Amino acid sequence: MLDTLKKNPKFAGRRGPVVLLIMDGVGLGKYPDGDAVKAAYTPELDKLLKSCPNTSLKAHGTAVGMPSDDDMGNSEVGHNAIGCGRVFAQGAKLVDDAVTGKAVFAGETWKKLIANVMEHNSTLHFIGLFSDGNVHSNIAHLRAMIEEAKSRNVKKVRIHILLDGRDVPETSALEYVEPFEAFLAAQNCGGFDYRIASGGGRMVITMDRYGANWDMVRKGWETHVQGKGRYFKNAVEAITELRISSKAIDQDLPPFVISDDGVNPVGPIVDHDSVIFYNFRGDRAQEITNAFEDDNFEHFDRGCRPDVVYAGMMEYDGDLHVPKLFLVEPPAIDRTVGEFLCANGIKQLAISETQKFGHVTYFYNGNRAGKFNQDLEEYIEIKSDIVPFEQRPWMKSAEITDTVCTAIESGKYRFIRLNLPNGDMVGHTGNFAAVITAMGAVDLSVGRIAEAVRDAGGVLVISADHGNADDMFEHSKDGSIKLDKNGVATRKTSHSLNPVPCIVFDPESKGEYKNELRPGLGISSLGATCIELLGLEPPEDYDPSLLIMQ
């Protein structure tokens, strides 16, 4: 049990709640062209930026625990940083260190996976996101594991690739597949048989999260495990033909299975095989893991579940210990904002729609699935629509806002945190017009929540977890827009490296702190800031508050 935080002698807090509003994927753009945040009609945000203390916050790279400042931030590491008030080395860095230093290959899980294959003369399978986006996975880790498997004399390897086009350019799949096929061909001498066996777009198969659409996982199971689907001779042929027939970008490409004869798949997963799900990020890894591991699985008919040795790249849920076997220890995050507030008896509400519900709960709480205190915490999930996000860019912003405004008016909660996913989820589609609509919906919500906070005498802190909607076109190093062969701007579907805004709306301010926010900090400083606004002193090891007390 944590010690309680001391009362802040310089600031007693307000009569109303502190509300932390995360505008997911809304950054401060570097280029005017392609900045859907600036292009949108956002009078409420504009008004608050002109009248309230505000600053920019770092939300990528080392500021959120990624290996380098070339790495984009993401919602997982962003909410970790916001919720724990300081920066921890994240999955990308931990896995990279373990793989490059070869510690992962000395671990008992790797040894068990290899021993199983060698004992049964069976197949080692890899499933995961096939890019170097470094948000969910990195293809460099896959290459290193395949090379190590060969050094251990593993004769047969099959790779099941989930096409990205979301954390990397939207039609870049062949830029990864073609050199990887050459890499595999170089391994295939002396009786080794290493091949891509199946694949499909990450937003179509396998990588669902928060139970939003289990049918994605069913499709992935049938594709990877059962080898059912449309057959192609190789992945290049599959991607090329499916792009023409579906007119989809990589993340939305239909599933495919590789078959030499058009009858038999080259790599179904069968009894005695070993399987590694090589994504290090947990949210989109848990459901396929459940399909492999759960004895009482009810989400779809798995048929005859193969008896395999299954492992994840990391532990995806530290409370539920999912998966049972994993290759790299996850970051040990403790002493989060939510836990401290529970220790101080502060009633809290966390709310978003399904797409980001786990971010304001699990990730915000340091990768913890359960509550710290059942009596002091309430979590509300608004069910997301299962439609392409560009077709409904307002998403569930109105429903989230309705619930938050009611909660503010009720006086039940001292701290409320919410996530509006629009800027990120719609931003990933690359549809500029849809993102403008999405930002309009976010702005309407901001205005309504600000009014409720004003009436209740509270404080509203507005920020984001990373950028996305602020950078919708690919740019060259000189700042010019990259054009396709038709002279049209190349869409960008990945996160940006831009900072994010932070606004403190405190309508009953009595001048306890300066009318400016401390510059040069990252989103991890939101933790100490919210604690101070609640009238408490932040822990000494938290990153500094944005408030400059008088």
Burial of 164 (0-12, 13-18, 19+ CB in 10 A): buried
Backbone angles phi, psi at 343, to 5 degrees: -60, -25
Backbone angles phi, psi at 473, to 5 degrees: -120, 145
Q: Which of 51, 56, 68, 75 is catalytic?
A: 75
449 touches 405 (CB < 8 A): yes
Provide the 10 A C-beta neighbour count for residue 155: 17
- The helix (H) or strand (E) run that includes residue 151 is helix 139-151
Is 56 annotated as catalytic?
A: no
- Smallest Cα–Cα separation from 318: which of 276, 354, 278, 366? 366
- Smallest Cα–Cα separation from 137: which of 199, 83, 95? 95
Of the CA atoms within 13 Å of residue 297, those in its CB half-sphere come to 19
**Residue linked to tokens 């990933």:** 428
Tokens of 46: 């504009």
- Smallest Cα–Cα separation from 292: which of 279, 278, 309? 309
List C-alpha distances in Å: 294 to 100, 195, 213, 358, 438. Answer: 32, 28, 18, 21, 37
Cα angle 514-520-525, degrees, rounded to a multiple of 5: 75
Provide the 10 A C-beta neighbour count for residue 319: 12
Contacts of 166 (CB under 8 A, 6+ apart): 133, 202, 203, 250, 251, 428, 493, 494
Residues marked active site are found at 75
